[in-house]
Chains A and B, each alone.
Chain A
């Protein structure tokens, strides 16, 4: 007997929303970096606006990813977010100290990128926990 799938697109929806999240976030970081390096006020303003729109799209796709996730994936995501939060807290303190001594100046954009990288590592780590 073959069982019928109740949600044939659920898997692809989860994958697509996660892919779009990474695309939007990387694009936003690139645009914000360009804006920070720009000297023309108008160009900087336009780039900042584009960056904000891309970041908002990233948040929207993240929310869509969470909506498409099942309860087990939400648990993994919760663990990954906790891991990213704790690690970011520690690294923020380290960065703060380094900046105080004149290192890593202008690295403010590094923090959101770092949080997302840590969250991604957390997703992989906590997914492994449930595998055989």
Chain B
């Protein structure tokens, strides 16, 4: 799964810590998602997408294989 999280966050000029606080996770978690080391569950993915005012598919891109 690919994510546009870093790009979207940069557009909004939010820090990882600010986004983490807003969705109720640690900064380390946001960093792990951005670097592709951790794939969030549905609940967190929806929370992140809603924080940006976007659909989940606009933030997370599913790839086969």
| Interface of A toward B, CB cutoff 8 Å | 1-8, 10-11, 14, 70-73, 75, 127, 129-132
Task: Return A70 CB to nearest CB of chain B, in Å.
Answer: 4
Interface status of B41 (Cβ within 8 A of chain A) = yes
Q: Which residues 10-64 in B have Cβ within 8 Å of A in the complex?
A: 12, 14, 18-19, 21-26, 28-29, 31-32, 35, 37-38, 40-41, 43-44, 51
Closest 10 CB pairs of A and B: A72-B29, A5-B21, A130-B32, A7-B24, A70-B25, A3-B22, A6-B24, A130-B37, A71-B41, A10-B24
Interface contacts (Cβ under 8 Å), in number, total 57
Interface size class of B (residues with CB under 8 A): 20 to 34
Task: Return B65 CB to nearest CB of chain A, in Å.
Answer: 23
| A1-B24 CB under 8 A given contacts A70-B44, A71-B44, A73-B29 | no
| Chain A residue with Cβ nearest B37 | A130
Residues of chain B within 8 A of A130, CB atoms compared:
28-29, 31-32, 35, 37-38
Specify which of A1, A2, A129 is in contact with B37 (CB 8 Å cutoff): A129
